[in-house]
Amino acid sequence: MSALNTGPARTRTLALGPVRLRYRRRTVVTGALLAAAAVVLDIAGMQTGTIALAFGDVLGAVFGQGEGKTLKVVQKIRLPRTVTALGVGACLGAAGATFQSISRNALGSPDIIGFTTGAATGAVAQIVLFDAGPGATALAAIAGGLLAAGVVYLLSLSGGVTGGYRLVLIGIGVGAMLAAVNTILLAKGDSDLAAEAHLWLSGSLAARNWGHAVPVLIAVALLLPVLLGLSRNLNQMEMGDDAAQALGIRTERTRIIAMAAAVGLTAVATAAAGPIVFVALAAPQLASRLTRSPGVHIGTGALMGAVLVAGSDLLSQRLPIQAAIPIGLMTGLVGGVYLLWLLTRSKQV
Amino acid sequence: MFQTPRKQHRQASAWALGLGLLVLLAFASFASGSRTIPLADTWAALTAFDPSHDTHLLVRELRLPRTFLAITVGAALGLAGALMQALTRNPLAEPGLLGVNAGAAFAVAVGLGFFNMRSPYQYMWLGFVGAAATSVLVYLLGRAHDAGTNPVRLVLAGAGLSVMLIAGTKIILIGGPDETITAYAAWASGSLQGRGYDVLPWVLGACLLAVLTALPLSRSLDSMSLGADLGRTLGVRIRTTWILGALAILVLAGAATAAAGPIAFLGLAAPHIARMITGPTHRRLLPLSMLLGALLLLFADVVGRVIAAPAEIGAGVMSALVGAPFFIALARRRKLAKL
Amino acid sequence: MEDVLSGRGLTIGYDGRTVSEHLDVRIPPGSFTAIIGPNACGKSTLLRALSRLLKPAAGEVFLQGKDINSYPTREVARQLALLPQTSTAPDGITVADLVARGRFPHQSLLRQWSEADQQAVDAALAATGVQDLADRTVGELSGGQRQRVWLALVLAQDTPVLLLDEPTTFLDIAHQLEVLRLCRGLHRTGNYTLVTVLHELGMAFRFADHVIAMKDGRIVAQGSPAEIATPELMKEIYGIEALVIPDPATGGPLVVPLEPEDLGSGGTGPSRGHLHGPPDTGAPRTGISPQSGIPAPLTEGAPA
């Protein structure tokens, strides 16, 4: 009797022909539930708006059936918005899980490499100084973020190795400088433009069309599998670089590819909806507490992120408050509440 | 305790240099601003005060308290940061972890948005209340007394609560008129402008109390840094030390943020730099963190006034712009301790 | 027969601090080599260089006659396993899962598990005696238990060459013996080459068939235990006076360290308590030297 076939939390093997995959039942079940929740929230989201629609109508319209007006509203306005929401959540959840694993820090997020603050600097500078429109803002955000991440990475290279700790420290330093620059820009700018900049900084899913949704979907389709494929390596690396290298992993190469993919996902998400960074921090933490399994949670993190964003969007649309609360703030409130609730419930961290 | 003569000499020089710089910067602070006042006048304002002279008034009523406030706030943040890092045994900890900045910001936004408050004096009290309430909540939620052994909980609680409060703050700002945003932005840049004698005594008093509570903890902190087990067998009362330390951090960081707005990064950087000179012994580390914090903030305040005259760039913002490159350079040369 | 693992002209160190220079070392195939030496003499540094974890500033490391860097790192992981001095276990991982991680070099993205993996892990768990702990989380185990779990991981990796950095630290004597007997068992099959850094001299001389003695980053001597276990070498390497006698149990060399009070006038000699068996030098028991002021012959066994 194999010693491994004991206990409820065991890792099992799925055999598909010659392919053998390892999984944990709780993780798969959690993932399936999250996916189902995401779909339900998605459809419920599409039911909401100035025109309330029935569940069945929405479902039909998604697949191309139904009368003209419903079809148009669903396919041209609401579907792209919810797809963007799901996609952005998935991007950020996966990226956050990656950074937390690499930095071995529960507070790891795309900001440890200065990306989010850099994106904010790019966008705020564009809005306050040039005011060239939302397309330019999105581009400026990506450019700023990538530039900041690149600078942090290069500064932390020494002898060809970044070293996790040095990377985090330099990320904090660069982030602090950029945050200062942002504050100056916001304080000095024209008050209208400053207000607009604040709005962008809070993230928004309003008026998101297929132009936003499609790039996000492409990024998820291309980059998420890369991260999923690297998750075995990342898991081994949590035992320390020595142990991982002894098992034959090229640690620096894994780190670079994983970070590049995570930064790519964050960049696309930020361009689509503005910075909604708390998702990147909270989603992986929530996923790990739900699945109660060690290791990096790319898949479940992505699903949790999708649920978080879609849920927050639904909440902000359904709230009886007149003002539309930007998605970034909503995810902050929802994610924060959920995280704190989990912390108070469980005895163990 | 045991230090080589060379190390003692290095520390003595550091202190002499630091204090000298402080005095110099203080004078520079008296002299600079929207109007540059010649040194002779500055000296006269201090020694032979003539109330009819408007430059004398400027120095006495505005720049003097402002300078002392900068020194106090900087010292408070430096000390709070060193304490936070010692208590959580985490070199990335800074006083903002207890949610102080977010709490103060939320309270100020409420005051600005709903009650139309605009004076630094009012901001200060709002900030105190907000910071205190938030820190207590984070402390309880994060089970901070266990944080000696497991700081992840505290860190997550702080992050969770901070994010909620920041979201709340932004909601208030976005929902209000534009001038709310401008007023808030001015506070948020960590400005010492207009902070006069109405703010100074409270902040000074609070910080003094906190310093008197924190400095005697030095020996306990030294033992605690060896790990919870060893600390306890060495006779440290871990829970008491944590409560007193956290209280001190709360007062120091809360008072600082309340007085000057959120000033990030200084609480992280000053202790690291101080540790390079003094090593990890807290009896020496804590005072030097205070000195370096004061120097950094005063320098930032002066520079912020000089380079943007007649307007000014907030000290909080400047301290990040000035301190961060230094910090990055140190990190690159692996000079920063891992604790 | 060519060496399975060797280093030539190695200059190795950390962060600008050179530990060893121009070091030549050879590990004979099928041997059980113990590296001994005082603290900070470069034992672990050498082991890390041999396992390609530490890149030498100069010199080469050869595995099976070829430059170790010419192999893909995964291939090296199938030939050579290293038990590092310290490793961190991910939060919440069970013993079974951690040991299973050792099978990584034999798996791929699509073949994440196989019968061979199962058997290797089961065998490793049984060999280190931790099968009953399989479902426990590593974090809640004692130091000794954790050490055995890490050893199981390395065994599960199933490589012909095993490098072990202080595998017996934290273990009580029963488990020390168990681990080293396990190593000896592997050694005796003839299919494994083992290199261990050991602190316990007694264990090193009892189990190893090849000993490398280091000091200050240099290899001072290498050879069989009998060749290394001499008072002169003990003095040179550790700076202690010692007596070498036949081990009553195994017949091999047993090093008995001597304290200054034990040194009588006229050379080494036991002077405290009873001894069972003739001393190595054959010198008669003498009293303690007069300078210490403690009287006379101690054949009664009074303590010093």
Q: What are phi and psi of A165, to 5 degrees?
A: -65, -45
Report the C-alpha gap between A336 and A282 in whole angstroms. Answer: 8
SS3 C196: strand
Q: Which long-range contacts (CB under 8 A, 24 or more apart) does B155-159 make?
A: B155/A106, B155/A107, B155/B88, B155/B90, B155/B93, B155/B97, B156/A106, B156/A107, B156/A285, B156/A339, B156/A343, B156/A349, B157/A340, B157/A343, B158/B96, B158/B97, B158/B98, B158/B99, B159/A107, B159/A281, B159/A339
> Which of B155, B161, B336 shows the shortest C-beta gap to A106?
B155
**pLDDT band of C279, cuts 50, 70, 90:** very low
Residue B112: name the closest of B185, B12, B5 by CA.
Answer: B185
Q: Is the model's pLDDT at C292 over the cut of 90?
A: no
Our measurement of the distance from residue B121's CA atom to the centroid of its chain's CA atoms, rounded to an integer in Å, reads: 18
Q: Is the model's pLDDT at A56 over the cut of 80?
A: no
Q: Where are the beta strands (DSSP E) in C44-167?
A: 58-63, 66-67, 80-83, 161-165
Report the C-alpha gap between C57 and A17 in whole angstroms. Answer: 47
**Beta-strand relationship, C193-197 and C253-258:** unpaired
Chains interfacing with A (3 or more CB pairs < 8 Å): B, C
Percent helix, strand and coil across chain C, each rounded to 5? 35, 25, 40
Contacts with C94 (C-beta within 8 Å, 6 or more apart), sequence order: A7, A9, A10, C134, C135, C136, C137, C138
pLDDT score recorded for residue A3: 43
Report the C-alpha gap between C152 and C98 in whole angstroms. Answer: 9
Our measurement of the distance from residue A187's CA atom to the centroid of its chain's CA atoms, rounded to an integer in Å, reads: 29
Which residue in chain B has the smallest CA separation from A182? B317
**pLDDT band of C242, cuts 50, 70, 90:** very high
CB-CB under 8 Å, A22 with C75? no
Which residue in chain A has the smallest CA separation from C72? A248
CB-CB under 8 Å, B265 with A278? no
pLDDT score recorded for residue B312: 77
- Taking the alpha carbons at both ends of chain C, their separation in whole angstroms is 53
**pLDDT band of C196, cuts 50, 70, 90:** very high
Q: Which residue has the tokens 């994440």?
A: C112
Task: Identify which of A160-164, A338-342, B164-168 has the greatest average pLDDT.
Answer: B164-168
pLDDT score recorded for residue C303: 39
Residue C94: name the closest of C124, C136, C141 by CA.
Answer: C136
CB contact B331 to A (< 8 Å) = yes
pLDDT score recorded for residue C291: 38
Tokens at A123, concatenated: 């966008």
CB contact A285 to B (< 8 Å) = yes
Specify the DSSP class assigned to residue C212: E
CB contact A48 to C (< 8 Å) = no
Per the document, the length of chain B is: 339
R_g of chain C, CA atoms, integer Å: 22
**C33 or A137, higher pLDDT:** C33
**Residue A241's CB: how many other CB atoms inside 10 A?**
18
Chains interfacing with B (3 or more CB pairs < 8 Å): A
Q: Is the model's pLDDT at A162 over the cut of 90?
A: no
What percentage of chain A exceeds 90 in pLDDT?
21
Q: Is the model's pLDDT at A164 over the cut of 70?
A: no
pLDDT score recorded for residue B338: 52
Please give the full DSSP string across B237-305, using - where no structure is assigned.
Answer: -HHHHHHHHHHHHHHHHHHHHHHH----SHHHHHHHHHHHHH-S-HHHHHHHHHHHHHHHHHHHHHHHH
Q: What is the mean pLDDT of residues A234-259?
A: 89
Residues of A in contact with C121 (CB under 8 A): 2-4
pLDDT score recorded for residue B124: 83
Exposed / middle / buried, residue C265 (Cβ in 10 Å: 0-12, 13-18, 19+): exposed
Which residue in chain A has the smallest CA separation from C158? A247
**A4 or A321, higher pLDDT:** A321
Mean pLDDT of chain C: 83
pLDDT score recorded for residue C275: 42
Report the C-alpha gap between C116 and A154 in whole angstroms. Answer: 43
H or E element: which one contains C184?
helix C173-189
Q: Which residue has the tokens 């008129």?
A: B177
Torsion of Cα atoms, C89 then C91 then C97 then C103, to 10°: -40
Residues of B in contact with A170 (CB under 8 A): 328, 331-332
pLDDT score recorded for residue A347: 55
pLDDT score recorded for residue C282: 42
Report the C-alpha gap between A91 and B281 in whole angstroms. Answer: 45
What percentage of chain A exceeds 70 in pLDDT?
92
Q: Is the model's pLDDT at A343 over the cut of 80?
A: no
CB contact B54 to A (< 8 Å) = no
Please name the residues between 245 and 264 in chain B that touch chain A, using a CB distance below 8 Å.
Answer: 264
Q: Which of A333-337, B89-93, C97-101 shows the lowest mean pLDDT across its residues?
A: B89-93
**With left for phi above 0 and alpha for psi between -120 and 50, is residue B216 left, alpha or beta?**
alpha
> Which of C77, C87, C89 shows the shortest C-beta gap to A248?
C77
CB-CB under 8 Å, A292 with C92? yes
Q: Is the model's pLDDT at C53 over the cut of 90?
A: no
> Which of C84, C93, C126 shows the shortest C-beta gap to A242?
C84
Contact B225, B280 (CB under 8 A): yes
Report the C-alpha gap between C34 and C29 in whole angstroms. Answer: 14
What's the pTM? 0.77
Identify from A112, A166, A172 which residue to disrupt to test chain B contact, counting B C-beta atoms within 10 A and taking the largest count: A172
pLDDT score recorded for residue A346: 63
Report the C-alpha gap between C245 and B10 in whole angstroms. Answer: 54
CB contact A106 to B (< 8 Å) = yes
Return the axis-axis angle of helices B238-260 and B64-88, rounded to nearest 10°: 150
Report the C-alpha gap between B66 and B193 in whole angstroms. Answer: 7
CB-CB under 8 Å, C51 with A238? no
H or E element: which one contains B132?
helix B120-141
Report the C-alpha gap between A234 and A3 in whole angstroms. Answer: 25
> Which of B155, B171, B323 shows the shortest C-beta gap to A329?
B171
Could you write out the three-class secondary structure of chain A? CCCCCCCCCCEEEEEECCEEEEEEHHHHHHHHHHHHHHHHHHHHHHHCCCCCCCHHHHHHHHCCCCCHHHHHHHHHHHHHHHHHHHHHHHHHHHHHHHHHHHHCCCCCCHHHHCHHHHHHHHHHHHHHHHCCCHHHHHHHHHHHHHHHHHHHHHHHCECCECCHHHHHHHHHHHHHHHHHHHHHHHHHCCHHHHHHHHHHHCCCCCCCCHHHHHHHHHHHHHHHHHHHHHHHHHHHHCCCHHHHHHCCCCHHHHHHHHHHHHHHHHHHHHHHHCCCCHHHHHHHHHHHHHHCCCCCCHHHHHHHHHHHHHHHHHHHHHCCCCCCCCHHHHHHHHHHHHHHHHHHHCCCC
Q: Is the model's pLDDT at C24 over the cut of 60?
A: yes
SS3 C25: strand
Report the C-alpha gap between B109 and B123 in whole angstroms. Answer: 9
Exposed / middle / buried, residue B279 (Cβ in 10 Å: 0-12, 13-18, 19+): middle
pLDDT score recorded for residue A303: 95
Residue A167: name the closest of A259, A276, A295 by CA.
Answer: A259
pLDDT score recorded for residue C276: 43
Contacts with A334 (C-beta within 8 Å, 6 or more apart), sequence order: A308, A311, A312, A315
Q: What is the mean pLDDT of residues A185-200?
A: 80
**A103 or C173, higher pLDDT:** C173
Count of alpha carbons within 13 Å of A67, Cβ hemisphere only? 2
CB contact A65 to C (< 8 Å) = no
Interface size between A and C, measured as CB pairs under 8 A: 108
Q: Which of A44-53, A98-107, B78-87, C246-255 shows the lowest mean pLDDT across its residues?
A: A44-53
- ipTM of this complex > 0.85? no
Specify the DSSP class assigned to residue C173: H
Tokens at B330, concatenated: 């140190």
Q: How far is CA C98 from CA A228, B147, C101, C149, in A?
A: 20, 27, 5, 8
Question: Is the CA virtual torsion C119, C125, C131, C137 positive or negative?
Answer: negative
CB contact B320 to A (< 8 Å) = yes
Per the document, the length of chain A is: 349
CB contact A202 to B (< 8 Å) = yes
Q: Is the model's pLDDT at C230 over the cut of 90?
A: yes
Show the CA angle centred on residue A169, arms to residues A163 and A173, nearest 5°: 140
Tokens at B164, concatenated: 């909620």
Query: Which residues of chain B, if any, have pLDDT below 70?
Result: 1-3, 143-152, 227-230, 232, 309, 334-339
**pLDDT band of A9, cuts 50, 70, 90:** low
What percentage of chain C exceeds 70 in pLDDT?
86
**pLDDT band of A323, cuts 50, 70, 90:** low
Q: What is the mean pLDDT of residues C82-97?
A: 84
Contacts with A37 (C-beta within 8 Å, 6 or more apart), sequence order: A307, A311
CB contact A63 to C (< 8 Å) = no
b/e A12-28 (16+ beta carbons within 10 angstroms → b): eeeeeeeebeeebeebe
Q: Is the model's pLDDT at C268 over the cut of 90?
A: no
